[in-house]
Amino acid sequence: MDDFFHGSETNRTSNSTATASFVRTGVIGLVCTAAVHLLPAPFDTQINKQRLINGDVDAATFAGPDVDGFTARQALNGIYAEGGGTVIMVNVFDPNRHKNSVVAEVKQFQDSEIALDNGQVFNVIVRSSDGSTTFANGTDYTVDQITGSISRLADGDIGINQTVNVDYDVADPSQVTAADIIGTVTASGDRTGMQAWLGARQAFGYGPRQLVALGYSSLPSVATAMNTLAVNLKARAYIDVPIGTTVQEAIEGRGPTGAIDLRIASANVVYLFNHIYVAGPNGTRLEGQSARRAGLRARVDRESGFNFSASNQQYLSVIGLERELDDADIQQLNAAGIETIKNDFGRGFKAFGNRVSIFPGKGGIETFEATVRSFDTHDEQLEMISDNVSLDKPINGGTFLRRLNRSLQQYINDEITAERLVAGSRAFIDPSKNPASQLEDGHIRIGRKYVVGPPAERITHEAEVDVTLLSNIFA
């Protein structure tokens, strides 16, 4: 039976002419490169594994320090700077693969210290110049893995001006490919890269709703894979427009002849224009918006609700923009289905734009990021309720039908009261849609008419100058 399905599902239709109790809407999925070579071995426990990150302690434990070339702490710092919460992180940097090896680099200690030709080192072995003695780390010397500096210990066996040979590996995150980020399913059944998120619900009871691949989402193959997963997970994929892109190039990229590829038309993709200046460990740095935009989205969910738009909400950690935009630039970008940042005098940096990338090819209520997130959230919550109340129970008449309909309507009524659904939204069971031939296969159809309030994207003031009011001056 090709149409067999065991569970609850939603088939949504629309007559548009143009935080729920159990669904966790603010969870962020992050695929990244973490400096795990700087963490205690073994490395394997931190590679292509889902890790729940709930703050800076978890970030330090599983993502390593914020060092150049690695995106994990950079992204996590951005997420938490904007008030984000739970992150499901997948690190794809593998020190056993993404490395360069150096053999017998000759160095002579000067003032009890040598500087290797590279930083980001691990698996360091120091030997005497004739190779007869292998010195012990922690007994004869210490290593600063980030800088590549080696210091001899006074109580050790290395002489003050001794010449040594050093073998070591150099971490090279530039060897990470789009294929590593996208991931796959291995012959042993393990999911790698962003595919690991598909196991989140079984592992944690929830999955990510905002997807981030800072530094990689601009790659067309990564963006396409993120969209595919976002559809599966009922999530939004935040895609950074490539660094250095002009407004014209971004707009042209939405069409077939653009020099860059921003052609995904999906209710699950949000394009983000303009890189941002933020504080880094070595001063100000330039990065994509996606991580901080996801953190902002999570903060809005927590403080206002998942039905609120993140547009016109202030960033807390943005210092500057790669490109200053005027109102005309912002309007053109938004009209092309690209979100950006607005910087009005005295108002700080604000996310600006409501539409997912299916716009402007499609219009109407299901092109707003906030509303499609709300529809997905309500759908999932109502499916969970029907699973808990009625799935696999006997379809035995009025009691079954009343209990199911009452449970669904109670949730809808609560959401109407909370102003996350519009009054009049309802669930119902239509006998004409449930003939005996269907019921005998255990299949029942539940009708639903509902709508959420779209964001007030355009407010028009219609003003009339009425000179007759001047007569009131002397009244």
Contact at 8 Å (CB) between 89 and 210? no
> In the structure, what pLDDT confidence band is assigned to residue 468 with cuts at 50, 70 and 90?
very high
Residue 18: per-residue pLDDT = 41
CATH topology for the 28-94+180-362 domain:
Rossmann fold (3.40.50)
Residue 308's CB: how many other CB atoms inside 10 A? 19
Write out pLDDT tens, residues 189-229: 999 999 999 999 999 999 999 999 999 999 999 999 999 99
Under 8 Å between Cβ of 245 and 280: no
Mention every residue, 6+ apart, whose C-beta is less than 8 A from residue 210. 26, 27, 28, 29, 235, 236, 238, 294, 297, 298
Residue 289 is predicted with a pLDDT of: 98
The pLDDT assigned to 3 comes to 61
Confidence band, pLDDT 50/70/90 cuts, at residue 373: very high
Phi, psi at 69, each rounded to 5°? 95, -15
Tokens encoding 376: 């997905």
Residue with the two structure tokens 């052609």: 263
Predicted confidence (pLDDT) at residue 16 exceeds the cutoff of 90? no
Q: Which of 452, 377, 289 is nearest to 26 (CA)?
A: 377
Percent of the chain clearing pLDDT 90 (strictly above): 89
What is the average per-residue pLDDT within 1-25?
A: 57
Buried b (16+ CB within 10 A) or exposed e, 1-13: eeeeeeebeeeee
Alpha-carbon Rg of the chain, whole angstroms?
28
Residue 44 has pLDDT above 90, yes or no: no
Average pLDDT, integer, range 38-51: 85
pLDDT of residue 21: 36
Handedness of CA 255, 256, 262, 268 (dihedral sign): positive
With bands split at pLDDT 50, 70 and 90, how would you rate the model's confidence at 118?
very high
Closest CA to 337 of 266, 231, 233, 256: 266
Residue-wise pLDDT for 166-184, tens only, equals 999 999 999 999 999 999 9
| Cis amide prior to 65 (ω within 30 degrees) | no
Q: pLDDT class for 22, splitting at 50, 70, 90? A: very low
Strand partners for 417: none
Do residues 352 and 457 lie in contact, with contact meaning Cβ atoms separated by under 8 Å? no
Give the pLDDT score at 4: 58
Which pTM does this prediction carry? 0.92
| Cβ–Cβ under 8 Å, residues 150 and 142 | yes
Taking only the tens place, the pLDDT of each residue in 327-362 is 999 999 999 999 999 998 889 999 999 999 999 999
My answer on whether omega of the bond before 95 falls inside 30° of 0, hence cis, is: no
Mean pLDDT along residues 381-390: 94
pLDDT at 41: 74
Question: What is the overall mean pLDDT for the chain?
Answer: 94
pLDDT value at position 42? 74
Query: In the predicted model, what is the mean pLDDT of residues 98-102?
Result: 98
**Hey, where are the domains in the chain?**
28-94+180-362, 99-171
What pLDDT does 449 receive? Answer: 97
- In whole angstroms, what is the distance from residue 72 CA to residue 391 CA? 41
Closest alpha carbon to 359 in 374, 371, 348, 351 = 371
Residue 46 reports pLDDT greater than 60:
yes
pLDDT average, residue stretch 126-138:
97
- Burial label for 424, CB within 10 Å (0-12, 13-18, 19+), is exposed
Least confident of 92-96, 130-134, 398-402, 435-439: 398-402
